[in-house]
Chains A and B, each alone.
Chain A
Amino acid sequence: MTAEFGLAALWLAAALAAFQLIAGSLALTERGAPLAGAVRPVAVVQGLLTLIAFVALILVFANTDLSVKLVAMNSHSMKPLIFKIAGAWGNHEGSMLLWVTVMSLAGGFVALVERRLPERTMLATLAGQAFVSLGFYAFLLISSNPFERLPVVPVEGNGLNPLLQDLGLAFHPPTLYLGYVGLSIAFSFAIGALITREVGPAFARAMRPWVLGAWIFLTLGITAGSYWAYYELGWGGWWFWDPVENASLMPWLAATALLHSASVLASRNALRAWTVMLGVVAFSMSMIGTFLVRSGILTSVHAFAVDPERGSFILGLLAIYIGGALVLFGLRAGTVTEGQRFAPVSRESALVVNNVALSAILGIVLFGTLYPLVTEAFDTKVSVGPPYFNPMGAIFFIPMLLVLAVGPLLRWRRDSLGRVRKILLIPAAVLAVAVVALLIFSDVKVLPFLGLALAPALAIASLVPLRGRNLRRTPLATWGMVVAHFGIAVALFGMASESAFSVERLVAMRAGDSTEIGPWKVRLEAVEPVAGPNWTALEARMVARYESGSGTTILPQARSFWSPPQQTTESALLTRWNGQLYAVLGGETPAASGPGRWQVRLWWKPFVSMIWYGGVLIALGGVLAVIGRTWSDVKRIVARDKIAYRRERQGR
């Protein structure tokens, strides 16, 4: 019953989306104007209906209703409740429902609170949002119905892929989707602004908090996903340039560029067409990512069951939406008038560098991700990995970081480097000291060298905009920028340190053996069987000692799940302020005589946790900015309403 209820809610929501599209479009014409009042409420109700459908799916999963095909295929009655719930989106259909839910909730939220734009632009925006949603409703209802029933109820479900049975699944996909799909708002705003030709500072100011919101979730989602892959896969890496990781990185790069260009448009009324273009590109990247993941044309640990029909369906949607938006852009770009001018040395120029560099990195990542598809068409199979992505990305990333150190100090419109030269002496000195120290004391490769040299200077430079300010009166948005830029420096330091100083040790040990890794001494006490709710495991008890400190027990496991039958490695992590010890238990090596030895793989990764702390700081910067901006907008709207109210009273 719950399933049918959810399905009905979904169909209703789809019908409302169609109505929202028609009413929103007609309301832009003279004769359809009376329909305008209906658009916002419809958007809100549509959002609530999808939420009901999503809750219905969660209930079906929580109760393990095996008559629903999706539950039977992906769940199991013996799973812990949290994984039953999270399992609702750990599969293709459920995650598409999550996608649609986020999309229509975001649209409903915009309809409910956004009052900064002219009403006509809002109508066009909401119609655009409905237009995009409709395609995904069709996809969900026609080819991926999550509520489909089975004619014969199976005795037990197939279970959830054990790699997904982790708290990461409860957090990572919803966060990532809020970001991924939240960018649809930027897309719809861009379409609305193009249709009504209202590309200006007001448009940028209205769009910015929404983009910031999506970007915050995207940042957190990527950070969480990276940490999840790091400890769950047991490969010791935190970023693999896997197509799906790239699929989440590309919208992030576009959204980051969009945030910066929107700030130019909002403050200085420049980069008008470019900002609109980025609004279109950001969500297009989300859709391309979905296509890459869901069509099964690329292999990845993230790929769900492959179905060519779905691939062509999403490809069709991509063609309609991206193609349509680009055509609209092409038709209207000419009418978007030139913005204000600025000098080569100015805040605007620095932000242009940021935008061009981010776009170039986006292009590099996109090329590398699609290249295997292109060569496969010519019957050559290749894979593209870090040897391509790391240096190619760095070519554009490093100049961008240098500009990042200077840009926030420059004035809008026109400035001279002479004015900021003195302030930059400290970061420049730090950079020089770091370079010399690295040259003398260590022997690291080029990229980690650059990262280690730049990170401290960048951290200091990112704080310089606060110099000479009254810290209490500094706007929250400025704090946001400072925190986010500082986060970049922190993450960069973590990445460079991990890559430069990690040590790895692979040994076969008997119980009682000891081994050394970096500053650690690790002793294998015993390997014993343990059991969980739906798995059994071999667990190694090891005692790790940092230098001459006291021992800490770590318990890496090799787990065997029985439904579906699969083995996973549960790495054990020991975090100190200056890094992490990472332990993985492998198989048993039979010995000719006596007890067998256990394969153990250990890493000591100095300052690796900085990568994720940096990511969290970047997102925190976004949170500060969004609070600051929204607060000042709310104050302005309240003041405006008060003035209007007084005028009205005095006029009587």
Chain B
Amino acid sequence: MATHAAGGLKPKHQRLVLLGIALVVLIAAALLAIWALRNQASYFYVPSEIVANPPAPDRGVRLGGMVEKGSLRTESDGVTIAFVVQDGEARVPVRFSGIVPSLFVEGSGVVAEGTLGTDGTFVATNLLAKHDENYVPREMEAMTKAQAKSVVAETQ
């Protein structure tokens, strides 16, 4: 009865079959994950990189840099802003509709999430500004380190 119940499988074989199924599914999950990550991960750019090597227009990316002084203006609808993000080498115009983070000001760092349009304007869906003294978007930390001199000279 017991052997019949398990379709004639010996316990050891059933164990191996289960292990096999679990492994196949988990490996499939891992492969899927790797494939999807290559396609869906959102890359981080600084302005000089995004100008030199623009991503596809439908691809979500992140752009980090300094908000150029004097470039920020609000459009007539009162909720859309336009500004320029630069890293001392290149300038990228950015448009954003929404409530800006309180620490978002000209001359400070920003990370914009969104897509680069075909006309070269970056359309942001979200802005991350420096939150407080303890919280800095990680990309900005590295960026200010890598390009400290030019950017600091530009913005001070």
Contact = CB atoms under 8 A, between A and B. Distances in A.
A413 interface: yes
A388 B11 contact: no
A166 B102 CA distance: 19
A356 interface: yes
Nearest to B33: A367
Contacts of A558: 102
A384 B37 contact: yes
B62 A414 contact: no
Interface stretch (A16-24, A104-112, A299-307, A613-621): A299-307
Interface in B113-150: 131-135, 137-139, 142
Contacts of A298: 138
Interface string B36-58: 11001111100000000000000
B142 A342 contact: no
Contacts of B152: none
Contact of B6 (A161, A343, A569): A343
Given A368-B33, A506-B79, A387 B43 contact: no
Contacts of A368: 33, 37
A628 interface: no
Contact of B41 (A343, A384, A601): A384
Contact of A341 (B6, B79, B135, B138): B6
Contacts of B6: 341-343
Contacts of A569: 99
Given A360-B29, A388-B36, A507-B79, A161 B41 contact: no
A466 B18 CA distance: 30
B98 A364 contact: no
B7 interface: yes
Interface in A559-617: 564, 566-567, 569, 584, 586-587, 589-590, 597, 599, 601
A539 to B, nearest CB: 16
Contacts of B21: 352, 356
B155 interface: no
A548 interface: no
Interface residues of B, number: 49
Contacts of A340: 11
B14 A341 contact: yes
Given A564-B133, A599-B79, A375 B99 contact: no
Interface string A385-400: 1011001100110000
B5 A364 contact: no
A650 interface: no
Nearest to A296: B138
B29 A364 contact: yes
B22 A356 contact: yes
Contacts of A590: 74
A475 interface: no
Interface string B65-81: 00000000010011100
B3 to A, nearest CB: 8
A367 B74 CA distance: 40
Contacts, number: 142
B2 interface: yes
B132 A367 contact: no
Contacts of A381: 43-44, 138-139, 142
Contacts of B139: 381
A395 B18 CA distance: 20
A382 interface: yes
Given A383-B41, A383-B42, A388-B40, A341 B9 contact: yes
B100 A382 contact: no
Given A364-B33, A597-B78, A359 B44 contact: no
Nearest to A297: B138
Nearest to B22: A356
B22 A586 contact: no
A380 interface: yes
Contacts of B36: 388, 391-392
Contact of A601 (B33, B99, B138): B99
A388 B44 contact: no
A338 B2 contact: no
Contacts of B41: 371-372, 375, 382-384, 388
A372 B137 CA distance: 14
Given A303-B135, A363-B30, A364-B29, A341 B2 contact: yes
Contact of B78 (A363, A372, A599): A599
Interface in B15-42: 15, 18, 21-22, 25-26, 28-30, 32-34, 36-37, 40-42
Interface string A626-639: 00000000000000
A387 B29 CA distance: 16
Contacts of A566: 102, 131-132
A430 B99 CA distance: 42
A343 B44 contact: no
B93 interface: no
A597 B133 CA distance: 30
B97 interface: yes
A508 interface: yes
Contact of A599 (B3, B62, B99): B99
Contact of A507 (B60, B78, B137): B78
A287 B107 CA distance: 40
27 contacts: A274-B22, A338-B12, A340-B11, A344-B7, A352-B18, A352-B21, A356-B25, A356-B26, A359-B22, A360-B26, A360-B28, A361-B29, A367-B34, A371-B41, A383-B41, A384-B42, A387-B40, A388-B37, A388-B40, A388-B41, A392-B32, A414-B5, A508-B78, A569-B99, A584-B99, A586-B79, A601-B98
4 interchain residue pairs of minimum CB distance: A508-B78, A341-B6, A586-B99, A381-B44
Given A343-B6, A387-B60, 14 more contacts: A234-B99, A368-B33, A382-B44, A383-B42, A384-B40, A388-B41, A392-B32, A413-B5, A506-B79, A566-B102, A586-B99, A589-B78, A590-B74, A601-B98
